[in-house]
Each structure stands twice: as C-alpha cells, then as structure tokens.
Structure 1
Amino acid sequence: MWQPDGWDVRVRLGILTPHADVGPESELRAMAPPDVGLHTARVPFAAMGRGGAMDPVLPLAPVRAFAEPPGVDEAAALLAAAPVAAIAFAFTSSAYVIGPRGEGHMLARLGERAHGLPVVATCAAAVEALRVLGAGRIALVDPPWFDDTLSDLGRGYYEDCGFEVAYAAPCGLPSGQTLIGPAALHDWVAPRVPDAAEALVIGGNGFRAVGAIGALEATLGRPVLSANQVLLWAALRAAGAETGGVAGYGRLFAHP
C-alpha cells in the first residue's frame, strides 16, 4: 500500500558540487544503492555558466578559487546541519592546482566548518583507493576541458603521492559534458593505456565516466578508478557504511 518515499535509508551523504554541474550527483545516484541518501549543496564556480555551459578549456584561476573560502566553507557548514554522516567534495581539478598538501589543509578546514563531520575529497580518495588495490604505476586520463598544463599538474599530484605515472593526458573527445558517452570514452581510452600501468585513473567529477568502468576493466584486465566512483567509496567508508552493495562499477567496491 505504501510507496517508497526516500526516508528509509541506512546512511545519508552530503555532496559539495559546482553550482551548475549535474555530473557528480547523476553518477553518484546511479552507483549508490537505494538505501544510501545523497544530499547536495551547490558551490559557486566562476567557470560554469547557465545550463552548465563551460569554455572548451578550463581556466586555472576559478579552479583554485573553488577550493578557497568563503563559498565552499559556507556550503559545508550548511550541509553539515543536515543529518548526513559524511561530506564529499566533488571536484578534481582544484587538488591538481593546490597539490596534496593544499588538499589536506582544505579538508581540515572544511572539517572544522562541518562541525567535525568527516569530509573526503576526490583525489585523496583516489590515492587511498590505489593503495588499497596495491597499484603503484598508473595511467591518468582527464576530461577534454583540462588543458596540458592542468593535466601536467594532475601528473604531479600523483607523483607527489608516490605513484609512477606511465601515461597522462586529457581525453581527445569533444570538449563538452553532454558530448561524451561511455562507448566513445571506452574506445578512446582503452588503446592508450600502456601495459606498464597497473591501474587506470579517470579524473574529473563532471566527466561522464562511471558507465564505462566495467567495460574498461574487462578490456584492460586492470582496476579502473573514476572521480565519482572513488568519491562514493571514500564517503561510504568515512560514514562507517558498507561499500560492497555497489555492483557493476568496478572491482574497487568488491575489495575487502
């Protein structure tokens, strides 16, 4: 007689996302089991316009500013007032610009504004996932709207964290969130991952990628990590929730 109404969940996660970006919450909702609640706070991001419009190349200044006060701090404080168990920072490129140390300072600052709730971030989550999987040498593919400078900063981020980067480049598909699908991503990425890479990392929370994870793992025979996939994994862990209920989105969720 009664229909599901979204109240009966085992855990609620808060998401911080750029104000005009629907990518993170779309992919997170696709992956998360029905008993995981997702609640999003929007953060001003100067590089996105109405309808999610972006320039073909992402400028660095607004990327850095996204991770700085006051916008994201105020959003985290408001989101922490809701009954969420952890907060996830759904943005990749700011970590590339500020580096692992800067990302750590940002997480500590946001944790304070979130009244002590655990806060996880995409790149730090990817690093933890790679260590859990035992992968020390990676291939890194970023969105088409990341230029060579930002992609090189991404390479430097992972190298600073102790990984060897066998390949790093922006994806050569058309630059636009709605212009890319899982099949095209698979076909572009698969032949470019070198045999030396022990795992593939796909950066960019606004990059449509999770639908291709299973196919890429089948083709490559290696773990594939994407921005929103590792963010969900880290947020569930931070909330003390099981991760094994996520099926079809990579071997990471099956790892004990």
Structure 2
Amino acid sequence: MWQPDGWDVRLRLGVLTPHGDVGPESELQAMAPEGVCVHATRVPFGAITTGGVMDPTIPLAPVQAFVEPPYIDEAVSLLAAAPLGAIGIGFTSSSYVLGPDGEQKVLDRLMQHSAGIPVIGTCASAVAGLRQLNVRRIALVDPPWFDAELDRLGAEYFTAQGLDVVAHGPCGLPSNQRSINPSELFAWIIKHTPDEADAVFIGGNGFRSVGIISALEQDLRRPVLTANSSLLWGLLQAAGSAATPSHYGEIFTPERV
C-alpha cells in the first residue's frame, strides 16, 4: 500500500561539493547500495559560475581556497548536524594542490567541526583503495579542465604516497563537464593506458566516469578507480558499513572490503 518515502535508510553519508557541481552527489548516489543515501552540502568555489559553467582550465588559487576557512568548516558543521556515518570532500583538485600532508591537515581541522563524524578525502581514499588492491603502478587520467600544472601535482601526490605513476595527463576530450560522453572517455582510456600500469585512477569528482568502470575493467583486465568510486569506498569504510555496490569496480568486490 505505502510507497517508498526515503526514510527507510540504513546509512546516510555526507559529501562536500563545489557549489555549482552536481557530479559528486550524482555519481555517489548512483553507485550507492540499497539503503544508503547521500546528502550534499555545497561549498563556494571561485572557478565555477551559475549553471555549473567553468573556464576551460581551472586556476589553482580557487582550488586551494575551497578547503580554507571559513566556508568549508561551516559546511562541515552544518552537515554534521544530520545523522551521518561519514563525510567526504568531493574535490580531487584540492588534494593535488595541497599534497598528502596538506590534505591530512585539512581533514584533521575539519574533524574539529564534525561532531565526531569521520571526515575523509578523495585522494587519501584512492591511495588506501589502491593499497587494498596491492597496486604499485598506476595510469592517472585527469579531466580535460585540469591544466598541465594541476595534472603534474596529481602525479606528485601519488608518487609521494609510494606509487609509481607510469602515465598521466588530462584526457583529450572537450573541456566541458556536460560534453563528456562515456563512450568517448572509454575509448580514450583504452587507447592511452600503458601495459605496465597495474591499475587506472580517473581523477576529478566532477568528471563523469563511474558508468564505464566495469567495462574498462573487463577490457583492461585490471582495477579501475575513479575519484567518486574511491570516495564512496572510503566513506563506507569510515562508516563501518558492509554495504557493497555492484558493477562499480574490483574495489567493491566482497573479498576486497
């Protein structure tokens, strides 16, 4: 008799996302297992305007400003008032710019505003997931709106964590979130993934990519993680949940979690 009303949820997760970007929460909710709900709080991001429009390449200054006080600290406080199991930062770029140590300092600071709810970062989750998969060498694929400097910082982030980045670069697709076509991204990654890579990491939480994870893994015969699949895996781990998404990569297979 009664229809679903959204209240019958076992676990609620929070994500902090750039104010004009619908990508992180869309992909996280698409992957979320039954009974898991994603709630977003928006944080001002100076490189995005009304309607989610960004420049062809995003400058570094607003990327770093995204994780500086006071806005993101206030966003965590507001989000933490809800009954959440964990909170994630849905923004790869800031991790790249800050590096692993800087990212951890931000997470430690935000934990002071989270009422005890774990706060995790996208790239820190990606590194943990890659280690869980016993990966040593990765191919790093970044969005076309990441310039050469931001891409270089991304490679340095993973290198600093003991991973060998055997290939990296912004993918050669149109620099527009709405223009990203899964089939074109799939073809580009297949063509540009070197044989020596143990796994592929696709950076950018606003980069439409989770829908091709399973197909990529079938063709490449190696794990594929994206920013948002890594973040969801990290959120579920932090929340102590055994819930497992289907069809979104080896990282979520039962023997991996």
Show the counterpart of 2:11: 11
Is contact 1:143-1:203 (8 Å) kept?
A: yes
Whether the 8 Å contact between 1:17 and 1:43 is mirrored in structure 2 is yes
Q: Which amino acid aligns with 2:8?
A: D
**1:232 pairs with 2:232:** yes
Structure-2 residue corresponding to 1:140: 140
Match of 1:251 in 2: 250
Shift of 1:237: 1.0
Deviation at 1:242, TM superposition (A): 1.2
- Note the C-alpha offset of 1:33: 1.9
Aligned partner of 1:2 in structure 2 is 2
CA distance in 2, matches of 1:13, 1:195: 36
| 2:38 aligned with 1:35 | no
Name the counterpart of 1:178.
178
How many pairs were matched up? Answer: 255
Conserved 8 A contact 2:33-2:243: no
Any gaps of 5 or more consecutive residues in structure 2?
Answer: none
Match of 1:102 in 2: 102
Q: Any idea what SS the aligned residue of 1:252 has?
A: helix
In structure 1, the residue corresponding to 2:41 is in which secondary structure? strand
The answer to whether the 8 Å contact 1:12/1:83 transfers is: yes
Counterpart code for 1:196: E
Cα distance, 1:243–1:128 mapped onto 2, change above 3 Å: farther
Percent identity over the alignment is 58
SS at match of 1:120: strand
**Structure 2 counterpart of 1:203, which letter?**
G
Opposite residue 253 of structure 1, the aligned amino acid is F
**What displacement does 1:132 show?**
0.1
CA contact (8 A) 1:172 1:188 kept: yes
SS in 2 for 1:113: coil
Report Cα offsets for 1:49-78 as digits up to 9, x if no partner.
Answer: 000000000100000000111111100011
Q: Runs of 4 or more off by more than 6 Å in structure 1?
A: none
3-state SS, counterpart of residue 21 of structure 2: coil
CA distance in 1, matches of 2:25, 2:72: 17
Aligned-residue offset at 1:163:
0.4
Unaligned runs of 5+ in 1: none
Q: Which moved more, 1:138-147 or 1:110-119?
A: 110-119
1:94-135 CA distances to partner (integer Å, 9 max, x unpaired)?
A: 010010000000000111111221011100000000000000
Using the TM superposition, give the Cα deviation of residue 243 of structure 1 relative to its aligned residue in structure 2, in angstroms: 3.8
Q: Is the 8 A contact 1:233 1:243 kept in 2?
A: no
After the TM superposition, which residues 164-243 of structure 1 pair with which residues of structure 2 at under 5 Å, given as runs?
A: 164-243=164-243
